[in-house]
Structure 1
Amino acid sequence: MKNISATLAIVWRIAAPYFRSEDKWAGRGLLAVIVAMELVLVAINVLLNQWQNRFYSALQAYDLPEFVKEVWIFLGLAFTFVALAVYKLYLNQWLQIRWRQWLTRHYLGEWLDGATHYRMQLKGDAADNPDQRVTEDVKTFVEQTLTIGLGLLSSIVTLASFVVILWGLSYKAPLYIYGTDIVVPGFLVWCAVAYAIAGTALTHWIGAPLINLNFEQQRFEADFRFNLIRVRENSEQIALLKGENAERGRLLQRFGFVIGNWYEIMSRTKRLTAFTASYGQAATIFPYVVVAPAYFAKRIQLGDMMQTGSAFGSVQDALSFFVTAYRSLAEWRAVIARLDGFEMSVSAAARGATLEPAIDVVPSKGEAITLEQLLVNLPNGTPLVAADAFTIQPSERVLVTGASGSGKSTLFRAMAGIWPFGTGTIAIPEKAKLMMLPQRPYFPIGPLGDAVIYPAGHGSIPPEKIRDALVAVGMPRLADRLDEDAHWNRTLSLGEQQRLGLARALLHVPDYLFLDEATASLDEPSEDRLYRLLTEKLPQATIVSIGHRSTLDAFHTRKVALVEDGAIHVLGDGALTAKEPSAAG
């Protein structure tokens, strides 16, 4: 019971916000209509049960007028049932897509808010494959919650309705043994209850392992799919290294987990299906066997017997909801566990930006970026970079140097406000516009023009300005391809991507431009031309660069270094005391 209560609490936490959201009236209205239709369908089933008694009694009595009358009644009930069932499905699907749309937007908003997605990745969060959580798991949760919830409601209402009918039929068809009527109030109801309890207990005993198996199957499938995407995205490097055999082995190893777990699901499902199918088939004949003695003793008519069988079947089906829906319940619980883990991970990552101790990035009234008592840590708490009373003045050109792994890029991330691990304060001038350009810039899949001006929206920068920027950075061949859709991170070389990154900086005109080896893949003459271009086009901008080439000295007015001091690297003015490696820091 404790597990059931905990699961229902999680379901409520995930589901309830939609019905309190801006779409609450549409959601509540659709749900109310669907529930009302479900109740009417149960009522029609009750009427059909009563109809069976009259119909078969008319057959037994060879009463043609009554037979014809009952046929017309059946046609009316059947037409109403079909119409309601069709529109219940239609409205159910409408509610599903509205609920899924809201929940997807909600999760995307939480995941992408304030670099939460990045902190989850840094901490190696257990909520693996968030893409699956937001797509497949949300879809399955909405579908299964409505299906199981409405099925349970239908079972409860059906049970309440047909128990009354079956209890009354117990008096018309008493327990008849060896020529003696044995009056047991509601004995047909107790037979149905005993049958359903036995079936439910055995079903849970056989099928319980399916919950964890389904959870693991989704995880293995998502992991295999993620690694296939990784191979596709890094196909050039794999081909250059002739790593196809190694990748094949790795992929087949991961797919082996999919296969192994699937075989366990197959084995467990076979046992569960064997039992539930046998249970269902036995339920077809069981009520007739129970009332047959009374029928053959002519205590009841054929209509009573058929109505008893139908009512017994309805009660037994309602009580056996757990048996018939067990596989769906197992999959549903696995999805709930995954979404719960995702929500907890997102919340933990969001709290990580504000929990003490954390680096505090604050707006300032001054014109300079100031670092006060700053200590930047790794996610595991290991100190990495220290800086105190360090300032970057407006319009300065600062070159940051240091050995690979000294924390230069991590310092940039802290200044951008996405690295919370550490202590101290980073003061950023109020309303200052910062832009970070990494060594490998990101371009969304889509039109080239939108990719270059990202994260600005479509049409926010005139096409002629984008063309001018592309020509300025040495990419005139792309100037007339602004509307072309492509995966630009795969289509262009890294050097070309870096040129587009600098075009993005020219278009956004930042106050502070941080270049994290943003020209490292260009030859020195091209790098020279592009730095001169930045100086010319962004004369008021403060440019802070990370680089290892000595040729960069000419374009910067100040050089600072991250110098090793015991276990940490201290930021300060001065030159390096040792030769730097060429790898990225």
Structure 2
Amino acid sequence: MALVASVSAKWAAFRAFIQRAVALSTPYFSSEDKWKARGMLAAIVALNLALVYMAVVFNDWNRLFYDSLQEKNAAVFWKQLGRFTYLAFGFIVIAVYKFYLTQLLEMRWRAWMTDHYLHKWMSHQAFYQMELARFAPAAHGAHTDNPDQRIQEDINQFTSYTISLSMGLLNSVVTLASFVGILWSLSGAFAFTLGGQDYSIPGFMVWMAVLYCAVGSVITHYIGRKQIPLNFEQQRVEADFRHHMVRAREYSESIALDRGERVVREQMAERFSRVLSNNLALIKAQKGLIWFTSFFGQAAVVFPFVVAAPRFFSGAIQLGQLTQISGAFGQVQGALSWFVDTYSSLASWRATTDRLTSFEESFKAIARTERAQAAINKVANAPQLDTSPLRISLPGGTTLLEHTRLHAQPGDRILLQGPSGSGKSTLFRTLAGIWPYSEGAVALPADSMFLPQRAYFPNGTLRDALAYPALAPQYPDAALQQALRDALLPHLADSLDVVDAWSQKLSGGEQQRLAIARVLLKKPQWLFADEATSALDEAAEAVLYQRMCDLVAEKGGALVSIAHRPGVAAFHNQRWILEPNPQATEAASPGTQAAARFTLSVKPA
């Protein structure tokens, strides 16, 4: 019973995996590119069938060619040699176009899937929520390691393995159907006596091929099954190692200033040691499998000769028939050994499919969270800022704020203050509608802009970095240059078409001034600034804050700032202060919820 239950569980797991693989594969063949995809797939199938047909023709050619050698029939020999030339040419043409169309289909499929997953990843802040979910995977189920690697590498491997393995399976099935009849008719019957009774097994070579490959497949799976989780883990640790090197490049200046090369190198070495450790385990698993598959393949070369030799030496068959039997057995055995021959590729495909499936599941989890959040956290457009009682938590479940109502109207200049870790930036994220761990309704003017402490600048021209997230052609050069001058960056006004990595080339203060230049260019009505001038000197900070205040006043809006410097307070007429909640220090009784860590009070500036 235990064996039956184990087999049943494995069969159910296999069916579930196939369903996941089909679910990943079918969208492209139902997409807007479906007719080209289906046409290329049909052509590839036809070319695979043509190659099998050529194998059947070559098998018959072997019989005629070697019989002519045994019979020393020169006429037939030269005729078959001439026939070989055009058969070989036809085989080459089919093989070349099979390769070309297969690669073309893989490329188009990968392009479609990459665009599909990039769209999902960059929509509805999924990329942001996946990073947040790392801190609360159990609660939100959207934790996905290295999504960039899944899009760049896993999709490439999935499309390649899916096409090659499926075409290989098709080839094996058709080859088996084509050659099993040939082998059956050539192998004859195996007669033996047992217990005084005469027995005869027709198509003996066919049954031997089936038995040979069945035993080989079982042993292959037993030896090679460890490769599936090892392949999955290898892709993860490789991506972690690569990601850490990218971060070192991104923060090269900070690392150099800190003289942190040794620590970063040790961290890289630690991650690379995980790559090597898992790779060594994978190599050992592959070594064990290669021991068996090599023996299996070599034994298959002589096995048909050993079985058919008695008939050849007795004169029942000629050399040509012997070679034809060997060729047919090889084709049947090769078809039945598809699982043995492709096990390593199957293990890699299984790992890649599982990673993409979990990636897809993370999007579904985010969508479920977003729908649930939309029911309790509505964001609407309004002429002023108003919220219902807000409850804001951290990813781990700790409550920062609760029962907090906010109100701001045009003309307000509000300074949000509080100790580090009190949730000032998290409150801004909630107002912006991107923080998933919050409850309550937010009404916010549509023409609002959030200015983070560290803005994002895409690599490329300066005009693109300045206009982001809008397209640079929307703004004339004069407006872009004036925004740079107003943001105290006159030395960059003539560099709009210079291409560079602006996040690395510009100093911290210059990056904050470039972010403020965006504000002066886009002219929002309401502005939310999070430590937007922390890297500036006091004189530059005063000038730029005055210009931002003048801008929102001219537009009839308001300014809400997070800042610690006393000089910034002069530009505000109201303060929102986050203060530690004394009740939060008291342990909550069993079955009750802990109090929020902070409370918000409103005071004049």
1:400 maps onto 2:400 in alignment: no
1:11 maps onto 2:40 in alignment: no
Q: CA deviation at 1:238?
A: 2.3
Amino acid paired to 2:29: F
8 A contact 2:392–2:437 mirrored in 1: yes
Residue in structure 1 matched with residue 179 of structure 2 by the alignment: 162
The 5 Å alignment of 1:464-475 reads: 464-475=478-489
Q: CA deviation at 1:463?
A: 2.2
Residue in structure 2 matched with residue 489 of structure 1 by the alignment: 503
Deviates more, 1:443-452 or 1:453-462: 453-462
Count of equivalent residues? 570
Cα gap change, 1:358 to 1:491, in 2 (>3 Å): farther
1:64 and 1:513 map into 2 onto residues whose CA distance is 94
Pick the aligned partner of 1:439 from 453, 478, 483.
453
Residue in structure 1 matched with residue 361 of structure 2 by the alignment: 344
Pick the aligned partner of 1:122 from 129, 132, 148.
132
Q: Deviations over 1:342-365 (max 9, x none)?
A: 11122212322221586523324x
TM-score w.r.t. the length of structure 2 is 0.91
Residue in structure 2 matched with residue 551 of structure 1 by the alignment: 567
5+ residue gaps in structure 1?
A: 577-585
2:487 and 2:161 map into 1 onto residues whose CA distance is 53
1:30 maps onto 2:68 in alignment: no
The 5 Å alignment of 1:311-460 reads: 311-355=328-372, 359-364=376-381, 366-386=382-402, 388-429=404-445, 432-460=446-474
1:100 and 1:437 map into 2 onto residues whose CA distance is 36
8 A contact 1:359–1:374 mirrored in 2: no
Q: Deviations over 1:258-301 (max 9, x none)?
A: 11112212222222112111111111111111101001100011
8 A contact 2:414–2:575 mirrored in 1: yes
- Please list every run of at least 4 consecutive aligned residues from structure 1 whose deviation after the TM superposition is greater than 6 angstroms: none
Instruction: Supply the RMSD in Å over aligned alpha carbons.
Output: 1.9
1:575 and 1:324 map into 2 onto residues whose CA distance is 77
Q: Deviations over 1:432-480 (max 9, x none)?
A: 1222111111101111110111111242222221111111111111112
Cα gap change, 1:553 to 1:261, in 2 (>3 Å): same
Residue in structure 2 matched with residue 579 of structure 1 by the alignment: none
The 5 Å alignment of 1:77-92 reads: 77-92=87-102
Deviates more, 1:340-349 or 1:95-104: 340-349
Deviates more, 1:105-114 or 1:396-405: 396-405
Residue in structure 1 matched with residue 599 of structure 2 by the alignment: 570
8 A contact 2:453–2:531 mirrored in 1: yes
1:388 and 1:332 map into 2 onto residues whose CA distance is 51
2:537 and 2:408 map into 1 onto residues whose CA distance is 28
The 5 Å alignment of 1:226-375 reads: 226-355=243-372, 359-364=376-381, 366-375=382-391
Deviates more, 1:25-34 or 1:457-466: 457-466
Amino acid paired to 2:419: A
Amino acid paired to 1:118: Y
Amino acid paired to 1:97: M
1:2 maps onto 2:12 in alignment: yes
Q: CA deviation at 1:542?
A: 2.2
1:9 and 1:511 map into 2 onto residues whose CA distance is 51
Q: Deviations over 1:173-198 (max 9, x none)?
A: x43789xx974211110011111111
5+ residue gaps in structure 2?
A: 1-10, 138-142, 585-595
Q: Deviations over 1:28-67 (max 9, x none)?
A: 1111111111111111111111121122122222222222
1:62 maps onto 2:72 in alignment: yes
Q: CA deviation at 1:562?
A: 2.0
Deviates more, 1:478-487 or 1:404-413: 478-487
Q: CA deviation at 1:250?
A: 1.8
1:561 maps onto 2:577 in alignment: yes
Amino acid paired to 2:91: F
Name the SS for the 1:543 alignment partner.
strand
8 A contact 1:207–1:326 mirrored in 2: yes
Amino acid paired to 1:556: H
The 5 Å alignment of 1:96-135 reads: 96-124=106-134, 125=137, 126-135=143-152
Deviates more, 1:37-46 or 1:341-350: 341-350
The 5 Å alignment of 1:192-203 reads: 192-203=209-220
2:101 and 2:394 map into 1 onto residues whose CA distance is 51
Amino acid paired to 2:510: E
The 5 Å alignment of 1:193-232 reads: 193-232=210-249
2:87 and 2:404 map into 1 onto residues whose CA distance is 82
Q: Deviations over 1:82-130 (max 9, x none)?
A: 1111111111111111111110111111111111111111110541111
Amino acid paired to 2:175: T
Amino acid paired to 1:442: Y
Q: CA deviation at 1:241?
A: 2.5
Residue in structure 2 matched with residue 582 of structure 1 by the alignment: none
1:123 and 1:213 map into 2 onto residues whose CA distance is 25
2:521 and 2:77 map into 1 onto residues whose CA distance is 83
8 A contact 2:192–2:200 mirrored in 1: no
8 A contact 1:358–1:421 mirrored in 2: no
1:96 and 1:308 map into 2 onto residues whose CA distance is 37
